Chain A
Amino acid sequence: MAAKGKTVPLTGNYAIAEAMRQINPDVVAAYPITPQTSIVETFSKFANDGRVDTEIVRVESEHSAMSACVGASMAGARAMTATCSAGLALMYEIVGVASGLRCPIVMPVANRAISAPINIHCDHSDSMGARDLGWIQIYNETAQEAYENVFLALKLAEHPDIQLPVMVCEDGFITSHCVQNVRIYDDAVMKKFAGERKPIHSLLDLKEPISVGAIELQDYFFETKRQQQDAMEKVPKVYLEVAEELSKITGNKYGFFEEYKMKDAEAVIVTMSSAAGTTRAVVDKMRNEGKKVGLLKIRLFRPFPYEEVARALSKAKNVAVLDRSMSFGAHAPLYGEIRNALYEMEKKPGLQSYVFGLGGRDLLESHVRQAFNDMLTGKVSREKRYLGLREASE
């Protein structure tokens, strides 16, 4: 059932709002925050114009936004919100509640730095700071990818074996406010794909009364957390099933990660989101110069596909991991995961950490080239390196 759809010039945020329009969730509770605002703004227009019949809850904070979503979700509704940065930080308490209560909420995140200093621009500190809260996380490079992955996230979240919330992350401003060619597939086809939520339990089901949010102390809390882990471990299988179904509509592929010119690549960059686009452009240029370089773009960050990533990197000589956030006093988040993934391998590639782009600092093609050149000439060490940072580049 391929859907041709229509190509339109859209920003990442608008493309996400289009996905939400086609999904027509029962409840959207959200609070505006730069650079997420135009998602909620655009969606509110759709609601005002009667293009969706969603109940929009105008909350006074992100804490309330997520609280309203949790309540709606527990009542059996399909609930969505969107946020980033300080907004995500403010809802943090309920972010953990959403996964603990197994609410299949889908939340687009327009990645933005965490203050201080105050900064409205892109890095991944917000969602990386929430990476251990039990949410599935998918990172997106383009507006197109973000649009399509909202649908993937929805079906994955609501699958009876999963019942977990999902963050669909795009780079704030870089992707969220960049106008690109976006193919919006036919409403009828996407609405059919999204279908209706079929909750396993619902607060409104009078035939099977349930209590939600009960206290569990030393007696059962641990078992509940173990069940969350079980659900997470089932994600990869279901993700691929949903991906295949979505692929039939779009013709696109949705692996846990994308491998670009990896087959004979000696030097590989692993990164996520918009940086992958810039890296791919550099791969093409350096391939024309005869350099054996490749890109591994991680889409699914939680759960992390350790074994598959290790296999994908098994032939590389040297691997540079480019992180758009830091874990102060520890390995940068993506680098740490790649390092973990390689532990069991007998022959490990050289591995180097680079941090770039904090607070919206531009990632230039020359930075990517520098990392590739380091990898091609074996300049691999355990030091932390920075791309585009004043003191490091001087």
Chain B
Amino acid sequence: MGKDMIEIRIHGRGGQGAKSASQLIVEAAMDQGRQIQAFPEYGPERTGAPMKTYARISDKPIETYEPVLEPDIVLVIDPTLIGQVDVTNGMKGDGILIVNTTESSSEIKKKTGFTGKVYTVDATGISIGLLGRNLPNTPVIGALIKVTGVIDIKYVEKRVEGMFLKKIGREKTQANIDAIKKAYEEVKE
């Protein structure tokens, strides 16, 4: 992407970890020497309510505090939001839409009317398989890495370790990293 700044929007529901996902993305980017910004769109904070978070990555200082209105990349953590929320709002034709779903990209294209590139990954299935819980926010980052290359997987691994090792121990931390790697491998157009 030949732009100064990459703008990402993540759609999820309250409690699904969209905020942590955006934070993990920018933290890894910062470790790669980039300028970063991540912030959620806070509303009334309710579990299960649709919410958005934003991330910006740039080589220049990021000045603006405007919400991301024309995202280059959109991540949809919860597929039930499609049809409820305009997840492709403001996206240009060359934008990239990544959806956690078992459906195919052509089905997502049909549902959203989006004509750009659509990628799908069963992050929920991966999460249940490897973590024993439905936590698709981390694996979906694996898909983002594969499709866009905006961040490097080894920096993400390091940040996941920093974030989880103390809290949940080596085994579960490794499961999170494995989930990211699996999504990286399984994401498809």
Residues of A within 8 A of B (CB): 7-9, 120-121, 171, 173-175, 177-181, 274-275, 277-278, 280-281, 284, 360, 362-365
Contact = CB atoms under 8 A, between A and B. Distances in A.
Interface residues of B, number: 19
B23 interface: yes
B42 A177 contact: yes
Contacts of A120: 42
Interface of B: 22-23, 26-27, 30, 35-40, 42, 62-67, 69
Contact of A9 (B36, B62, B64, B65): B36
Given A177-B40, A180-B37, A278 B26 contact: no
Given A178-B38, A178-B39, A364 B27 contact: no
Contact of B66 (A7, A8, A179, A363): A363
Contacts of A9: 23, 26-27, 30, 36, 38
A173 B64 contact: no
A275 B27 CA distance: 24
Contacts of B22: 179
A152 B63 CA distance: 23
Nearest to B38: A179
Given A180-B37, A360-B42, A365-B66, 12 more contacts: A9-B23, A174-B65, A175-B65, A177-B39, A177-B40, A177-B42, A178-B65, A179-B23, A181-B30, A181-B36, A278-B64, A364-B69
Contacts of B67: 362, 364
A362 B66 contact: yes
Nearest to A7: B30
B63 A277 contact: yes
Contacts of B30: 7-9, 181
A374 B42 CA distance: 31
Nearest to B37: A180
Contacts of B38: 9, 178-179
A179 B64 contact: no
A280 B66 CA distance: 12
